């Protein structure tokens, strides 16, 4: 049995296949998911699992060198924005419009859909290297 926090087999499998600069998206329950990108739907009900708890679990296994978030998050969901900025204070944070964010998700290896209902609770994690 897996020893680490992240026990979701689909997410673990995707992370194990990722190389440098590959992207994984974590999204709220409303973000449109492109047809050609693997959907990992872990949403159970409103708020479960939350965006932050999903992000924290994924970060136990994924080395991240850059994140991409929608600039709208800063004004609409400022508490979440501040939490993300604090969590990623040592890496590059790229802000793009929500429309551009949705276009970039087409390049993701997979998109993990949570039960989050907070507007703009979406993030693209760009994989780093561990050496």
What residues are designated binding site for substrate?
28, 98, 120-122
13 among known catalytic residues: no
90's CB contacts (< 8 A; 6+ apart) are none
Q: Which of 17, 20, 39, 92 is catalytic?
A: 20
How many Cα neighbours within 13 Å face the side chain of 109? 18
Q: Are 12 and 40 in contact (CB under 8 A)?
A: no
Compute the Cα dihedral for 24, 84, 100, 96 and give only its sign. negative
Residues marked as catalytic: 20
């Amino acid at each position: 049995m897996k020893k680490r926090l992240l026990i979701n087999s689909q997410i673990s499998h995707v992370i194990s296949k990722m190389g440098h600069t590959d992207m994984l998206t974590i999204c709220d329950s409303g973000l449109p998911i492109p047809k050609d990108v693997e959907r990992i739907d872990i949403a159970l009900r409103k708020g479960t699992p939350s965006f932050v708890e999903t992000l924290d679990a994924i970060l136990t296994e994924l080395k991240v060198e850059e994140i991409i978030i929608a600039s709208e998050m800063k004004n609409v969901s400022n508490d979440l924005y501040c939490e993300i900025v604090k969590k990623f204070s040592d890496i590059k944070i790229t802000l793009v419009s929500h429309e551009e964010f949705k276009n970039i998700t087409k390049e993701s290896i997979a998109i993990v859909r949570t039960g989050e209902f907070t507007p703009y609770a979406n993030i693209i994690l760009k994989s780093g290297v561990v050496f």
